[in-house]
Structure 1
Amino acid sequence: MLVPIKWMSQYVDINTDDKTLADKLTLTGSHVDAVIDYNKEVINVKTGKILEIKQHPNADKLVVTQIDINEAEPVQIITGAKNISEGDIVPVSLEGAVLPNGLKIKKTNFRGLPSYGMMVSYEELGFEDKLIPKESRDGIIILPKDTPLGKDIKEVLELNGSALEVEVTFNRPDCLNIVGMARETAATLGTKFKFPEISVKNEQGDIKDYLNAVEIEDEDLCSRFYAKVIKDIKIGPSPLWMQRTLMDAGMRPISNIVDVTNYVMLELGQPLHAYDLEALEGRKLVARRAKKDEKIVTIDQTERILKENMLVIADAEKPACIAGVMGGFNSEISDDTKVMVLESANFNPKSIRETSKKLGMRSEASARNEKPMGHMMVELASLRACQLIEMIGAGTVVGGYLEAGKNDYDAPIVTLRPYRSEMLLGVDIPVEDMLKSLNTLEIESTFDGEKIISKIPYFRTDIEQEADLIEEVGRLYGFENIESKPLTGSTRVGRKSEIRLLEDDMKTIACGMGLYEITTYSFISPKTYDNICAPADSPLRNYVKILNPLGEDFSSMRTTLIPNMMEVIQRNSNRGVDDAKLFEIGSIFIPKSQPVTEEPYEKQKLCIGMYGNYDFYDLKGIVEGILSRFGIKSSIKAVKDNSTFHPGRTAGLFINDELVGIYGEASHQTIENYGLDHKVYIAEIDVEKILENKNTEWKYEALPKYPSMVRDIAVIVKDEVLAGEMEEEIKNVNPHLIESVKLFDVYKGEHIEEGYKSTAFSVTYRNKERTLKDKEVENIHNKILQVLNKKFEATLR
């Protein structure tokens, strides 16, 4: 926001230079980004009155003018300007003049006639195009008729001074105006603040003869609505002082009525809006929600389609304004307007912000209305605008007003404990100084012997608790005056949780085995459960449904990582990647109940996916390799009832007889659902169960002193007998002397009865304390055969 210092000086005594003021305001919390110098290098440019305009005898597009600059003889100037008339007072750059762009004016000959200077436009005086008044764009500056002749244009247009470019934070809308910044400046410099004196001296008539009613239908979106009527409107340019004030503040003058509303908005922070009374059906204004797909043509002549949650100001039939954002084209002030209604209202900030964003319409008014300003400024701003309209002769204020909503203010009480201030600020500030600081900010405060009791003024909507008052005290005391001290108190070293550390280790191990990590979204489409062939009553379909999804494909929280893994495999396969080994460690979400009323259970899972030149045993080796790194011994059992997996090539993973995962080949239907023509191997393991059973307290043993003995045994068993179960039974025959059991052959075919298979194991025996004898090994070997025969009806091959 631009704060012209000359304007602000009308409300506060400034006893320092601009740079020091900027630094002090920054130190007290009003961040000043820059000090902008408005002084323009203009030499020998004076005001003059056009006495005569004649056509140039030798040029169709030029005219010859005689200009009185309050000297002995008029000055002859030749120009091509189209917006000048005899009697106009204009700025004239005389021979020897220098303009801000460096141009030096000399006597010039135009088609045989001399010109002793040049009439000047705003552009030539260094003004930005966006700030130039409508009537002076692409033309000469036309000055007021009562402007003295021969005056230096720097004095007439006040081409001097400076402005502060201030960054106002969202919580301080009271500073988003000149008066608010003047209040801050007074508190910062310790000088006196003067609020503008507001009075309307010559009201005529009764507003009820012009306006029938103002109403609020939706008080949650509009808390106060205040209306005044002005008659005998005379549309024209605003006075030069007002135009220049607005230009210095970064706004372009439009017309006297519009300029007044903009002036008051910048001065007090309260946006206003003016309506042509004759354009209002039923001569009433209503603050209400828009109807579904209701339309309005805004002042930029664009048709807008409104949503039902948007607030409009409507007459008896249709919207006349998008509340707090932009006015309607049909009810705007025009050159023919004779009677107008001046609206001043307080709106719901959230509603204005959402409406402005959805419609793509942002303005100085919406930027203020979308912040919490309170409703007490509504009446003051309206009366100030009436005062200015009366002052500049733009209209006559009609007596009385109409209003709806809140019109009183019950000041909140906030208390401050002095000892608490010392704890938070780290410095002991006397209570007297605290009271002085708060009262300087117009926060009426007293001390009752134990605490400071403060009444919060209507314009400080940001102060709600004790810490807010302490901040006010601290910033006026000066944070730069508070000695820097090291932090005190106990500190803790931050560290990852055990499960996060486990995940890191698992990722390192998996990457070391040649797997690539993937990361996928936690929300998936419910249709993916069909793709992995989950039955209708599968627990996997008990998912958390997202109420506001990005789309159908992201409408549920996943209960398994397998669909995401299959989609990644599908994508890579379709793009020509012939083989891949992938893994993901991520969360699944299990609702505690349906419908979901509380936070669901979140579990961590490890998912491994492989395709290409790999088989079941590659996946088995990876799973066992990961578990062995955490000191976990596992067992497997065949799984035939999981429709996601192949019924004969899938194993359940058990730790201490507890199912912790599943791995195997994806079923033909699952592979077909993803459009794949090759085998896919998938594993999904509960990471939390790995953490529970993790045992990395490694024990080391000396290399064995005594030799081992190896015996092979081949038995014939039925096809359904699992080799893994046979291995476990062999080990249990004598765990002390049987060092290892390895399956090395499975044979079906000639000499083997159909429905049976030959399974061969290599058994390693060792005694750690002495050399084994053949007789001992033979006895154990025979016992193994007996156990296999008893358990599995195995016969020696």
Structure 2
Amino acid sequence: MKVSYQWLQEYLDLPEKPADLAERIARISVDINDVYSPSDGLTKLVVGHVDSIKPHPDSDHLTLCQVNIGTADDVQIVCGAPNIAAAKNVIVALPGARIGNNIKIKRSKMRGELSEGMICALQEIGFGEQIAPKAYEEGIWFLPAEATPGEPVFPYLGMDDTIIDTDVTPNRGDMFSMLGNVNDIAAFYGLTSKFKPLLVQESADQQTADLVSVQIDDKKIAPTYKMRVISDVQIKDSPLWLQIRLWNAGIRPINNVVDVTNYILLKYGQPLHSFDYDKLPAKNIGVRFAQQDEPFVTLDENKRDLSSDDVVVTAGDHPVALAGTMGGLETAISNQTTSVALESAIFDPVLIRKQARRHDLHSESSSRFERGINPETSEIALNEAAQLIAQLGTGKVATGIVTGSQKPATPIEISLTLARINHVLGTELSAVEVQDIFERLAFKCINNDDTFLVSVPARRWDISIEADLLEEIARIYGYDKIPSTLPAQTSNIGGLSQQQKWVRASRHVLEGLGLNQAISYSLTTVTEAQQFEIKRHATPMELDYPMSQDHVATRMSLISGLLTDLAYNTARKQVDVSLYEQGRIFVPVGKNKRPQEQEHIAGAITGQFSAKTWHHEAQMADFYLIKGIVAQYLANMAVKNAVSYVASNERSEMHPGRTANIFVGETLVGYVGQIHPQTAKQYKIGATYVFELNLDKIMAEPKKPRHYQMISKYPTITRDIALLVDENITNESILDVINDKGGAYLTDVTLFDVYEGSHLPAHKKSLAYTLTYQDKEGTLVEEKVNQAFDKVIKQLMDKLNVEVR
């Protein structure tokens, strides 16, 4: 909320300057976004009186103005505003002035005529388009007739004020009003508030009950609903003091009726809504849930199809307002309005919050309804608003208030002892000091033998238990006065759990293999959530009220998030990217049940994996590179059971000929492969290779014992063998036979040549291997190596029907 320092001064004798006050508010009440003056950065802006005007001789839209700026002689200023007129006071930027966006004004000629300055619109001196009055969108602003030429314009526009922009937390809805700020500031300074409501003067000519009736059937959705009627109203611009109050708070002035409701909203934190009484379809008012797909046109002229969860205000069962959020266009205040039906209500905060989010209508009213409304001031605010509308619109307030529902302003009584206060806060406060704090907060308090019975007023609905009162005492006493002590605790030896160790080791391995860590959103679209799953599941869990359309469902794979990261980099000309992510996926297990969380790890590579150097060729990402990374990762994770890769085409988003499921023993733990070209095109990335592993399953697998192996000092012996095999026989099947029958001294098998060509029989290929033998305890002899080698050849011929070339 934007809090005006000058407005605060009307109610409190503030002892500190705005910056110091803001610092105190930040320490005791709520956070501060900014402290600024509307005149910051503006210089040499003065009041000018337009003595005369005449058309520019060389332009059909420019005007030559003779302007009195408080000097002996008038100055000539060329102006292009369509509403410029003589005998008006205007905003003049003198030569050398700084206006909005730090623009410097210079003396210049415009189509041959000298212009000694600039006549400014509000937008040109820093007023936003959404704040400047709509009637002056295309023209300049006229200052009051009593403004003195030559004086600075800032006091006349409220720009000499200082604005304290507070960041109101959800629990301190009372601070979303001037009254709440006055109460809190008065408490921590120990000041006496001069805040007084404006009393209503009713007309005996009319009774409100004769003009309108209110029937609230469901008191839960509208605990409080009251109405007044003001007749014979003249719609016109609000006085300048009221407009200043609004635009310094970031609200655009509209007319005297709407401006009063916004002024009361700022002053009391009580949203009000004004209906054109004569446009109401019926004079019996109610509140109900909307019908599904019920059409309604709001004040912003948008037609909305309502949900059955929406709350509407009705006139004769016809919707006239989206309760607590925005009024209807049909009954809006216009220049032809003569009678006003004024609503003051309290609606269910949860319903209003969800409704505002559902329709993306986050208004000043809805933001206050969401945080809560003070039931003590609902009627006070209604009365003051009615009186102001009558005063500013020369109208009459009908006698009485029509009440459909009334939420009682019941105080909450909380008991706590002096010993408890000092024990929790670590202070040595006396009963007198505690009593004084409660009096400053305006909480009624009875002290009976150092036991305080505190009556918390309804305006502080955030206080309901003892802990809340303790916080209030600490706030007002001063957090900086509470002594600092170290907590008493026993010494515990810290350490990581086994799971934390495995997760950390996983990151170290993949980073050592050249991948960079990425962190993606756990929420995504429904389509992306269903892609790249290791094992297919039901539809993902969706949020009831997502923050955006791109984050509506929980992820069931990490790959889509990594591809989004690759797309982000690719769009910025970074086409060589290698990423991994370790995180959780969420598998739905049933309706209204928490999803199962699984720890996964995934990687994605595109472009060059390593750059070309003078001694090393560039390595492009391919299937064998990503498979090698996975194999090395699983080797480092020391899984005991055999790792196997089985070709798979079950995932439509993966390349059907370049994807393999990964098994550890008989357990499916993940997959590795290339993204399908069509999928890569959808993500706007190049050829990409990925893997994803279920880290929970890998951590649950038996592990090899960790021990070192001595480097043998004895020489190795190698044997090469070339095999002619059927084209459907895989390298893996040959390696399985060699390793099974290779003997105790076989230490390594390397495929060094693959040939398929015209010199071989049809449907045949040639594979050549090097077998390495070594005895770590002594020198191998040829006889032992030959025996082991012959066994390998025999088994290959018997089991795989190979031919030795």
TM range (shorter): 0.5 to 0.7
Equivalent position of 2:511 in the other structure: 508
In the alignment, the residues of structure 2 paired with residue 137 and residue 746 of structure 1 have an alpha-carbon distance, to the nearest angstrom, of 84
Q: Secondary structure at the match of 1:472?
A: helix
Alignment of 1:246-395 (within 5 A): 257-258=257-258, 260-291=260-291, 302=301, 304-305=303-304, 307-308=306-307, 309-316=309-316, 318-328=318-328, 330-333=330-333, 339-352=339-352, 364-388=364-388, 394-395=394-395
The partner residue of 2:739 within 728, 735, 738 is 728
8 Å contact from structure 2 (residues 297, 329) kept in 1 = yes
8 Å contact from structure 1 (residues 650, 662) kept in 2 = no
- TM-superposed CA distance for 1:349, in Å, is 3.9
Give the aligned residue type for 1:342: L
Equivalent position of 1:499 in the other structure: 502
8 Å contact from structure 1 (residues 744, 762) kept in 2 = yes
Pair 591,185 (structure 1): closer, same or farther in 2 beyond 3 Å: closer
Q: Secondary structure at the match of 1:341?
A: strand
Pair 595,83 (structure 1): closer, same or farther in 2 beyond 3 Å: closer
Q: Secondary structure at the match of 1:282?
A: coil
Give the aligned residue type for 1:597: K
Does residue 604 of structure 1 match 2:600? yes
In the alignment, the residues of structure 2 paired with residue 257 and residue 564 of structure 1 have an alpha-carbon distance, to the nearest angstrom, of 51
5+ unaligned residues in a row in structure 2: which ranges? Answer: 55-62, 65-81, 97-118, 608-618
In the alignment, the residues of structure 1 paired with residue 688 and residue 83 of structure 2 have an alpha-carbon distance, to the nearest angstrom, of 82
Q: Secondary structure at the match of 1:540?
A: coil
8 Å contact from structure 1 (residues 238, 392) kept in 2 = yes
Identity among equivalent pairs (%): 25
Pair 522,510 (structure 1): closer, same or farther in 2 beyond 3 Å: farther
In the alignment, the residues of structure 2 paired with residue 649 and residue 258 of structure 1 have an alpha-carbon distance, to the nearest angstrom, of 67
- TM-superposed CA distance for 1:402, in Å, is 1.4
In the alignment, the residues of structure 1 paired with residue 754 and residue 13 of structure 2 have an alpha-carbon distance, to the nearest angstrom, of 101
Equivalent position of 1:229 in the other structure: 229
- TM-superposed CA distance for 1:462, in Å, is 2.2
- TM-superposed CA distance for 1:225, in Å, is 0.8
- TM-superposed CA distance for 1:470, in Å, is 2.3
Give the aligned residue type for 2:193: F
- TM-superposed CA distance for 1:390, in Å, is 6.7
Equivalent position of 1:108 in the other structure: none
Give the aligned residue type for 2:502: I
Does residue 193 of structure 1 match 2:193? yes
Equivalent position of 1:149 in the other structure: none
In the alignment, the residues of structure 2 paired with residue 716 and residue 132 of structure 1 have an alpha-carbon distance, to the nearest angstrom, of 89
Pair 394,293 (structure 1): closer, same or farther in 2 beyond 3 Å: farther
Q: Secondary structure at the match of 2:211?
A: coil
8 Å contact from structure 1 (residues 210, 229) kept in 2 = no
8 Å contact from structure 2 (residues 431, 450) kept in 1 = no
CA deviations on 1:441-496 (whole Å, 9 max, x unpaired) are 12223445575443321111222333332222122112333345567656987879
In the alignment, the residues of structure 2 paired with residue 504 and residue 30 of structure 1 have an alpha-carbon distance, to the nearest angstrom, of 40
Alignment of 1:385-534 (within 5 A): 385-388=385-388, 394-416=394-416, 418=418, 421-422=421-422, 425-447=425-447, 452-484=452-484, 489=489, 497-511=500-514
Q: Secondary structure at the match of 2:374?
A: coil
8 Å contact from structure 2 (residues 640, 702) kept in 1 = no
Give the aligned residue type for 1:214: V
Does residue 704 of structure 1 match 2:679? no
In the alignment, the residues of structure 2 paired with residue 651 and residue 362 of structure 1 have an alpha-carbon distance, to the nearest angstrom, of 49
Pair 332,510 (structure 1): closer, same or farther in 2 beyond 3 Å: closer
- TM-superposed CA distance for 1:203, in Å, is 4.8
In the alignment, the residues of structure 2 paired with residue 297 and residue 267 of structure 1 have an alpha-carbon distance, to the nearest angstrom, of 29
8 Å contact from structure 1 (residues 314, 320) kept in 2 = yes
8 Å contact from structure 1 (residues 312, 319) kept in 2 = yes
- TM-superposed CA distance for 1:498, in Å, is 2.0
- TM-superposed CA distance for 1:184, in Å, is 2.5
In the alignment, the residues of structure 2 paired with residue 629 and residue 772 of structure 1 have an alpha-carbon distance, to the nearest angstrom, of 30
8 Å contact from structure 1 (residues 310, 351) kept in 2 = yes
8 Å contact from structure 2 (residues 224, 407) kept in 1 = yes
In the alignment, the residues of structure 2 paired with residue 567 and residue 387 of structure 1 have an alpha-carbon distance, to the nearest angstrom, of 58
The partner residue of 2:536 within 538, 541, 546 is 541
Give the aligned residue type for 1:599: P
8 Å contact from structure 2 (residues 643, 663) kept in 1 = yes
CA RMSD of the aligned region, Å?
Answer: 6.6
- TM-superposed CA distance for 1:315, in Å, is 1.9
- TM-superposed CA distance for 1:529, in Å, is 12
CA deviations on 1:191-218 (whole Å, 9 max, x unpaired) are 3335526654655256366324113355
8 Å contact from structure 1 (residues 639, 648) kept in 2 = no
Range 365-374 or range 377-386, more displaced: 365-374
Does residue 165 of structure 1 match 2:161? no
In the alignment, the residues of structure 2 paired with residue 634 and residue 439 of structure 1 have an alpha-carbon distance, to the nearest angstrom, of 73
Count of residues in Structure 1 that have an aligned counterpart in Structure 2: 716
In the alignment, the residues of structure 2 paired with residue 31 and residue 409 of structure 1 have an alpha-carbon distance, to the nearest angstrom, of 28
In the alignment, the residues of structure 1 paired with residue 221 and residue 434 of structure 2 have an alpha-carbon distance, to the nearest angstrom, of 37
Alignment of 1:639-788 (within 5 A): 639=646, 657-659=665-667, 687-688=695-696, 691=699, 692=701, 697-705=706-714, 707=715, 722-732=733-743, 735=744, 737-739=745-747, 766-772=774-780
Give the aligned residue type for 2:712: L
Pair 462,792 (structure 1): closer, same or farther in 2 beyond 3 Å: same
8 Å contact from structure 1 (residues 277, 340) kept in 2 = yes
In the alignment, the residues of structure 2 paired with residue 366 and residue 398 of structure 1 have an alpha-carbon distance, to the nearest angstrom, of 28
Range 397-406 or range 598-607, more displaced: 598-607
In the alignment, the residues of structure 2 paired with residue 264 and residue 698 of structure 1 have an alpha-carbon distance, to the nearest angstrom, of 77
- TM-superposed CA distance for 1:298, in Å, is 5.8
Range 614-623 or range 212-221, more displaced: 614-623
Give the aligned residue type for 1:726: V
CA deviations on 1:547-602 (whole Å, 9 max, x unpaired) are 359889997854696x99999999999x999x999775556858474568332241
CA deviations on 1:389-448 (whole Å, 9 max, x unpaired) are 677793443333211223323333344455554466443333432232123212223445
- TM-superposed CA distance for 1:701, in Å, is 1.8
Q: Secondary structure at the match of 2:282?
A: helix
TM-score of the superposed pair, with normalisation by structure 1 = 0.67
8 Å contact from structure 2 (residues 746, 773) kept in 1 = yes
Alignment of 1:137-152 (within 5 A): 141=144
Q: Secondary structure at the match of 1:541?
A: coil
In the alignment, the residues of structure 1 paired with residue 276 and residue 667 of structure 2 have an alpha-carbon distance, to the nearest angstrom, of 78
In the alignment, the residues of structure 2 paired with residue 493 and residue 559 of structure 1 have an alpha-carbon distance, to the nearest angstrom, of 33
Pair 345,703 (structure 1): closer, same or farther in 2 beyond 3 Å: same
In the alignment, the residues of structure 1 paired with residue 437 and residue 339 of structure 2 have an alpha-carbon distance, to the nearest angstrom, of 46
In the alignment, the residues of structure 2 paired with residue 617 and residue 244 of structure 1 have an alpha-carbon distance, to the nearest angstrom, of 70
CA deviations on 1:45-97 (whole Å, 9 max, x unpaired) are 9xxxxxxx9999xxxx99xxxxxxxxxxxxxxxxxx99999xxxx9999xxxx
Give the aligned residue type for 2:168: T
Q: Secondary structure at the match of 2:429?
A: coil
Q: Secondary structure at the match of 2:371?
A: coil
Pair 415,498 (structure 1): closer, same or farther in 2 beyond 3 Å: farther
8 Å contact from structure 2 (residues 725, 764) kept in 1 = yes
8 Å contact from structure 1 (residues 531, 674) kept in 2 = no
5+ unaligned residues in a row in structure 1: which ranges? Answer: 46-52, 63-80, 104-119, 144-151
- TM-superposed CA distance for 1:226, in Å, is 0.4
Pair 752,605 (structure 1): closer, same or farther in 2 beyond 3 Å: same
Does residue 174 of structure 1 match 2:174? yes
Q: Secondary structure at the match of 1:281?
A: coil
In the alignment, the residues of structure 1 paired with residue 759 and residue 363 of structure 2 have an alpha-carbon distance, to the nearest angstrom, of 92
Give the aligned residue type for 1:459: R
